[in-house]
Amino acid sequence: MPFDPFAEIVRGFEGEPAELIPILQRVQAIYGYLSPESVGRISRWLRISENEIFGVATFFAQFRFSQPGEHVIKVCLGTACHVKGGEQILDVLKRRLDIQPGESTADGRYQLERVACLGCCALAPVLAIDEKVYADTSVLRVHQMLEERENREDA
């Protein structure tokens, strides 16, 4: 039998409708987003309509429906980060990357996201690039971080 990645993805699941969200989470963990093809496969496998799957998936902030940028920058806009200037950090990123939250840069390098709280509120304002969380950031730090990254790429 030819190798079927979808069979790998659903390994360990039983095919119950209640497994929809964990399956969506696994698909997104592997592909980075939910493509129409993935949703189609899930729909047939769980015998749930695609409409219903999109209904559930769009309800939750976690799910994406387009290919994300290579590096995901998450700016925390939880309460602690908000009162310490998180909004302005997001603004600087929007301007420098020339994208809105939820979008990726034209070259596909960066994806910008806003998140409700990263759980490091005592060290606010906080942002994360991919899995790494940065504490005590500032507008200034963000300028510096982006410059360091650009320099590293040029080198």
Relative to beta strand 110-115, strand 132-134 is unpaired
Query: Which residue from 7, 30, 106, 135 is in contact with other proteins, where contact means CB under 8 A?
Result: 135
Least distance CB 62 / ligand FES (angstroms): 17
Query: Which residue from 45, 70, 72, 82 is in contact with other proteins, where contact means CB under 8 A?
Result: 82
Q: H helices of 3-116, where?
A: 5-9, 20-31, 36-46, 50-59, 79-83, 86-97
**12 is a site residue for other proteins (CB under 8 A):** no
Residue 49 touches which of other proteins, ligand FES, none (Cβ within 5-8 Å per kind) = none
Least distance CB 58 / other proteins (angstroms): 9
* CB-based contact 57:63 (threshold 8 Å): yes
Query: Which residue from 56, 72, 121, 128 is in contact with ligand FES, where contact means CB under 6 A?
Result: 121
**139 is a site residue for ligand FES (CB under 6 A):** no
By beta-carbon proximity to other proteins, the closer residue of 2 and 17 is 17
Residues 63-82 that bind ligand FES (CB under 6 A): 76, 78-81
Three-state DSSP string of 29-53: HHHCCCCHHHHHHHHHHHCCCHHHH
Number of H helices, E strands in the chain: 7, 4
> What is the DSSP secondary structure assignment for residue 104, as one 8-state letter?
B
Q: Where does residue 93 fall: left (phi above 0), alpha (psi -120 to 50 degrees), or beta otherwise? A: alpha
Task: By CB under 8 A, name the binding residues for other proteins.
Answer: 16-22, 24-25, 55-56, 59-63, 77-85, 88, 91-92, 95-96, 115-124, 126, 131, 133-136, 138-140, 143
Task: By CB under 6 A, name the binding residues for ligand FES.
Answer: 76, 78-81, 117-121, 124, 126
